């Protein structure tokens, strides 16, 4: 089968990063992989059921233990710990300080620094609505991204989160759906321009599917996308969850992808392919 769309984006940041970046990872510092000594991130909104805190997991990747500091400066949260090779340390983050809510600008940025290269995961395990993402270090962040979400279920929005890595960053978002942002209504295709400082965030939510929304910035930003809570695929009640990935910038995308079916899943897997450029030919093989 051959089909044509406008440019290739393998939907799943999960897939791209855990696959492409991990495979291409050289062990040297500075490689374009998912190991790093600095991370800037946030958590997009989840259902508020039992008010579980969001968590970060830091994994040691070097023979010399890394000293890691996690900060949420807006609330004065800071913690420092050591993590050795192959060890996983989990940090509970005060939820109200790190979870984006609604559609607007907010100070919810998290800063992670490490003396040696580590890997970091964000984990948001609310009661029966959980997801985790692979964090990308600041040395692979970029200035052009596309959101990847799922068609919303019920009144739970699809959503995009952006964190500034530098003061005075101009972020432009062209949403694929009409949205309300900071109390103003924007039509699909109308550019929303926001200035973010370092560790300042925005969240954009829509009752429609924000997949394919284009996010550009004049300095590198950290981008997240997914859905607050959504049922993917068969729509079966009780199968919904929070979904989120940290989105790889366009300049890290690739041309070949390998997928492994989930064991025991007979209904097939769901893929979404998003185009960055016109006239990109996509061929399953």
Ligand X SMILES: *[C@@H]1O[C@H](CO)[C@@H](O)[C@H](O)[C@H]1NC(C)=O
Residue numbers of the site for ligand X (CB under 6 A)?
67, 80-82
Shortest Cβ distance from residue 90 to ligand X (Å)? 15
Shortest Cβ distance from residue 116 to ligand X (Å)? 11
Between 24 and 80, name the residue whose CB sits nearer to ligand X: 80
Distance, CA of 109 to CA of 162 (rounded, Å): 9
Between 82 and 195, name the residue whose CB sits nearer to ligand X: 82
Tokens of 124: 């948001």
Q: What three-state secondary structure class fits 36?
A: strand
Between 84 and 216, name the residue whose CB sits nearer to ligand X: 84
Tokens of 49: 């059921």
Closest residue to ligand X: CB criterion: 82
DSSP 14: H
Shortest Cβ distance from residue 34 to ligand X (Å)? 23
Distance, CA of 171 to CA of 202 (rounded, Å): 10
Tokens of 172: 């432009």
Between 87 and 218, name the residue whose CB sits nearer to ligand X: 87
Contacts of 154 (CB under 8 A, 6+ apart): none
Shortest Cβ distance from residue 78 to ligand X (Å)? 12
Strand ranges (DSSP E) for 127-266?
Answer: 129-134, 142-146, 158-164, 169-174, 179-181, 184-186, 192-196, 201-206, 214-230, 241-246
Between 48 and 67, name the residue whose CB sits nearer to ligand X: 67
Shortest Cβ distance from residue 67 to ligand X (Å)? 5
Comparing CA positions, the residue from 137, 118, 132, 133 lying closest to residue 59 is: 118
Shortest Cβ distance from residue 36 to ligand X (Å)? 19
Between 62 and 82, name the residue whose CB sits nearer to ligand X: 82
């Amino acid at each position: 089968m051959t089909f044509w769309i406008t440019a290739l984006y393998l939907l799943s940041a999960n897939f791209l990063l855990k696959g492409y970046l991990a495979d291409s990872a050289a062990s040297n510092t500075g490689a374009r992989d998912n190991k790093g000594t600095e991370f800037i991130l946030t958590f997009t909104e989840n259902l508020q059921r039992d008010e579980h805190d969001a968590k970060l997991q830091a994994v040691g990747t070097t023979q010399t233990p890394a000293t890691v500091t996690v900060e949420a400066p807006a609330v004065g949260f800071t913690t420092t710990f050591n993590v050795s090779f192959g060890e996983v340390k989990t940090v509970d983050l005060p939820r109200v300080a790190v979870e984006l809510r609604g559609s607007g600008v907010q100070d919810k940025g998290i800063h992670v620094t490490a003396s040696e290269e580590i890997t970091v995961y964000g984990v948001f395990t609310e009661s029966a609505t959980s997801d985790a993402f692979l964090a990308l270090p600041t040395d692979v962040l970029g200035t052009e991204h596309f959101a990847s979400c799922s068609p919303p279920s019920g009144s739970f929005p699809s959503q995009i989160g952006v964190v500034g890595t530098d003061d005075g960053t101009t972020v432009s978002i062209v949403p694929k759906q009409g949205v309300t942002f900071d109390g103003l209504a924007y039509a699909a295709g109308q550019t929303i321009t926001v200035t973010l400082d370092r560790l300042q965030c925005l969240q954009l939510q829509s009752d429609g599917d924000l997949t394919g929304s284009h996010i550009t910035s004049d300095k590198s930003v950290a981008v997240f996308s997914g859905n607050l809570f959504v049922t993917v695929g068969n729509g079966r009640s009780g199968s919904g969850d929070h979904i989120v990935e940290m989105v790889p910038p366009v300049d890290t995308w690739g041309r070949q992808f390998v997928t492994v079916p989930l064991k025991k899943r007979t209904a097939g897997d769901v893929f979404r392919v998003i185009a960055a450029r016109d006239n990109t030919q996509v061929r399953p093989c």
